[in-house]
Structure 1
Amino acid sequence: MTPRPGTPAWLSAEYDRLMSFGADGDPGSYLDDRGRTDTRSSTFTWIAARMTHVHSLGAIRGRDAGRAYAQAALDKLRTDLHDDRHGGWHPAIRPDGTAEAGKSCYDHAFVMLAASSALTAGLEGAQQLLTESASVYLDKFWDASVGRPRDAWDSSFSTCEEYRGLNSTMHSVEALLAVADTVEISKTPAMSELGGGAEAWRERARTACEFVIDLARAHGNRLPEHFDASWSADLEYNSDKQDDPFKPYGATPGHGFEWARLLLHAEATGEPDDRTLAAAVALFDQARKAWGADGHDGFVYTTDWDDRPVVTRRMHWVAVEAINTAYALHERTGDSSYGDLYDEWWAYAADAFIDAENGSWHHELAPDGTPEATVWPGKPDLYHTVQATLLPVAGLKRSFARALRQTEGS
């Protein structure tokens, strides 16, 4: 009898299946639908960092192939993608070997996450990578005056863009919590004092979460994504480019789910807090309204500020984050209704998104469930899906790497 999607046996098998996807590809490169390196595409820092993170988790769980892949991806972050002249990381390296311009908080947050997981896995060069990425992040991106990050600079870190974004803030929170755990378990004084120590990293994450709690309350639990330099929301940003893959117009229900989960992760590092829990529940309840908003199964990608669908294509990561947050709320509250949604949404995702023929998951579907590639061509990484298979093992209180290290007894 085949295990039901979302159950421990099924998650274990799906984890193994996912980790084999693209295992022969070039670390950090864009993968096509079959997991082959797309030689026409650039090599991206965010992909190399996410894959370093994912395969470091595999290394912690004893996967030798995962360790080798994670080391290769980490080495690419330390060499090709690193800006030896100005510091930090290029967004990407083109096929001709030239670097794309700029420096983004999104990329640098994922480099910190990657370095944290890699160090927990004991990879060579991970401590140096974490030390440098944390230093660059605190110096160039983290704005202590507001408790949130700046979004982007030019390549030389000379001019900071006016734009501020909630997406980079969200992934910063994830990285900040991971760095805190890595710093806390470090056995060297230099690492344990990095950035002021573990609690300083957690406090940065909590400060950003407080902003989001207030932001959600002010906007009916629909989170604005785009802001100016003073953090005033621009609700019409990219209204002429509504399906931008990183900065779409309108509200993004998937980020509502993801923020709800991250609020619970941040809360779990301290004492239970009713205000944080209430905000997570409210964000979840609002985001789930995107299910079937256009009359078809699944979550629409974006809505306007009156909940009308804008981009109706289905993204795999939105379904994953809905599943993750249902699990997190069930663990936090014990309310069985969240467990029911977890089961329901896993059944949907397994049927709609898993590509049994070519591997991994379809990253984008049309409303009728047909695979598409308008916003996200190919299957560039495994970050969301692998974390979904591991969340019930890792739980809420620790970063994935630290939790798995404790679970595996290393």
Structure 2
Amino acid sequence: MSHPLAASSDGSWLNDPAHRAYLIRDAQRQLDFFDASLGQDGGLVTLDFTGTPLAGPQELITTTRLVHSYALAQIAGRPDNAGIIDRGMADLWTRHRDAQHGGYAWGVDENGITDGLKLAYGHAFVLLAAATAKQAGHPGADRLLADVSDIIDRHFWDDSVGLMRDEFTRDWQPFSTYRGMNANMHSVEAMLTAYEATGDMLYLTRASRILDFFVGRMAPAENWRLPEHYTDTWQIDRAYEGNPMFRPAGSTPGHSFELARLLLQMWDVSGRDGSDALVQARQLVDRALDDAWDTARGGFIYTLAADGSVARDARYWWPVTEAIGVLAALIKLDPQPQDEVWYRRLWAFADQHLIDHARGGWFPELAADNSKAMDQFTGKPDIYHALQADLFPLVPTLSHSAKALAGKKPLAERLL
């Protein structure tokens, strides 16, 4: 391995100075790599493995995740010398925001909107970017937060069921009856962050209602696997298969890790009430670890059929990062021996196979022999998942991570 993961095997790695220095170093190298996301002609771009900008329109997911990630890093004390936050916030307001119909377009370029689809998934990330930018003190955060919250109120939030509708045309015409877990899960993430940024209870109430449906109702009924796809009456649609990255058929174990961490964040920020959040989180995590870890090659299987058998055996970086995040949360809250074993196993796997020690950033996809693959992705699609895997274990909290990251010393000076 290129860098020591920890100085010794004694105690928890979360408290090991060498491991913490490793996390900070990887975060810094990721940020150094993704500084090149500021395109020469304006806008934010995706990068190939070497950090060279890739051609194509600017997507909402790229803009929002970069703003969120760089705002977190700025809060932690790493200056945004590349100007990613300012550029991204400007692009959200002047490029992605649809001045004619309202809402935020999925694809844009220097000439305007290239893909006017209005997705709950994309708007959840606009809310996340605005909320994190607000915590970083960005002057454009309040107007963006107010605008996207209004759009969510008027078009996406279905108060009759306490869940998000998924998709509309550019002029807000419904064109499908699809409902999905992914957009709702990321809406929970955004709403919890917006609550932490503003104190507005509406965000917290809505996040709770979404979690109640998926964790309180669906997961127990499905042996703690989370069905991804639903009809407009919120019946499971097991036959559905859409985009192979965002809407693959079956269940996605990586989302169980992510939702479990958000459940613990919700429980923590709500005052650690008498709910079953910890038990439920462990059920989700244990099921996903048992179902999806590839014992021969390492990494997590991407999707499963309803009976838990393998549906798509592709292995991506982001389920590893999300498992790291929730295991760190469990270690902080209720450490069990297996949590530490898994936490170390996942970092060892990431260090050996996913982290680009030569240039920075993480490789997104592995071939059968654990070499780099490019079947689903071209280049390194974003910094969001992997940066959070570095930063969240550094703080002692389960919620208000941005506040906890705001230390007295800049991130660059915290290397040991």
TM-score, normalised with respect to structure 2: 0.89
- Please state how far the C-alpha of 1:306 moved relative to its aligned partner: 2.0
Counterpart residue type for residue 366 of structure 1: A
Residue 259 of structure 2 corresponds to residue 259 of structure 1: yes
- Please state how far the C-alpha of 1:96 moved relative to its aligned partner: 6.2
* Equivalent residue in structure 1 for 2:117, among 102, 124, 139: 102
Cα deviation digits, residues 285-333 of structure 1 (max 9, x gap): 1100244447422211111122221211210001111111111112221
Which residue of structure 2 lines up, in the alignment, with residue 193 of structure 1? none
RMSD of aligned residue pairs (Cα, Å): 2.1
- Alpha-carbon distance in 2 for matches of 1:206, 1:408: 35
Whether the aligned pair in 2 keeps the contact of 1:261 and 1:328 (CA below 8 Å) is yes
Residue 128 of structure 2 corresponds to residue 90 of structure 1: no
Q: Indicate the percent of aligned positions where both proteins have the same amino acid.
A: 32
- Alpha-carbon distance in 2 for matches of 1:42, 1:108: 18
Whether the aligned pair in 2 keeps the contact of 1:267 and 1:273 (CA below 8 Å) is no
Cα deviation digits, residues 179-230 of structure 1 (max 9, x gap): 101112xxxxxxxxxxxxx222111111111111210001111111011111
* Equivalent residue in structure 2 for 1:128, among 143, 151, 155: 143
- Please state how far the C-alpha of 1:88 moved relative to its aligned partner: 0.8
Question: Which of 70-79 and 350-359 deviates more?
Answer: 350-359
Question: Which of 327-336 and 200-209 deviates more?
Answer: 327-336
Which residue of structure 2 lines up, in the alignment, with residue 20 of structure 1? 32
Equivalences for 1:10-409 in 2 at 5 Å?
10-25=22-37, 26=39, 27-39=43-55, 41-65=56-80, 68-94=83-109, 97-159=112-174, 161-184=176-199, 198-213=200-215, 214-238=217-241, 244-270=244-270, 271-293=272-294, 295-405=296-406
- Alpha-carbon distance in 1 for matches of 2:408, 2:248: 38
Counterpart residue type for residue 246 of structure 1: F
- Alpha-carbon distance in 1 for matches of 2:22, 2:340: 16
Whether the aligned pair in 2 keeps the contact of 1:30 and 1:44 (CA below 8 Å) is no
Q: Look up the SS of the partner of 1:65 in the other structure.
A: coil
Whether the aligned pair in 2 keeps the contact of 1:163 and 1:229 (CA below 8 Å) is yes
- Please state how far the C-alpha of 1:354 moved relative to its aligned partner: 0.7
Question: Which of 259-268 and 370-379 deviates more?
Answer: 370-379
Whether the aligned pair in 1 keeps the contact of 2:103 and 2:118 (CA below 8 Å) is yes
Whether the aligned pair in 1 keeps the contact of 2:96 and 2:113 (CA below 8 Å) is no
Question: Which of 23-32 and 225-234 deviates more?
Answer: 23-32
- Please state how far the C-alpha of 1:140 moved relative to its aligned partner: 1.1
- Please state how far the C-alpha of 1:408 moved relative to its aligned partner: 6.7
Cα deviation digits, residues 225-283 of structure 1 (max 9, x gap): 01111111111211xx6x71100111111011111111111111122445222111111
Q: Look up the SS of the partner of 2:174 in the other structure.
A: coil
- Alpha-carbon distance in 1 for matches of 2:409, 2:136: 11
Whether the aligned pair in 1 keeps the contact of 2:5 and 2:22 (CA below 8 Å) is yes
- Alpha-carbon distance in 2 for matches of 1:395, 1:139: 37
Q: Look up the SS of the partner of 2:310 in the other structure.
A: coil
Structure 2 unaligned runs (5+)? 7-12, 14-18, 411-416
Whether the aligned pair in 2 keeps the contact of 1:34 and 1:359 (CA below 8 Å) is no
Counterpart residue type for residue 377 of structure 2: W
Say how many residue pairs are matched.
Answer: 392
- Please state how far the C-alpha of 1:396 moved relative to its aligned partner: 4.3
TM-score, normalised with respect to structure 1: 0.90
Distance 1:402 1:366, change over 3 A: same
- Please state how far the C-alpha of 1:155 moved relative to its aligned partner: 0.6
Counterpart residue type for residue 329 of structure 2: A
Counterpart residue type for residue 217 of structure 1: P
Counterpart residue type for residue 115 of structure 1: A
Whether the aligned pair in 1 keeps the contact of 2:304 and 2:310 (CA below 8 Å) is yes
Counterpart residue type for residue 335 of structure 2: G
Whether the aligned pair in 2 keeps the contact of 1:55 and 1:66 (CA below 8 Å) is no
Q: Look up the SS of the partner of 1:32 in the other structure.
A: coil
Counterpart residue type for residue 89 of structure 1: Y
- Please state how far the C-alpha of 1:375 moved relative to its aligned partner: 1.6
- Please state how far the C-alpha of 1:405 moved relative to its aligned partner: 3.5
Which residue of structure 2 lines up, in the alignment, with residue 194 of structure 1? none
Whether the aligned pair in 1 keeps the contact of 2:264 and 2:281 (CA below 8 Å) is yes
- Alpha-carbon distance in 2 for matches of 1:145, 1:154: 22
- Please state how far the C-alpha of 1:105 moved relative to its aligned partner: 0.5
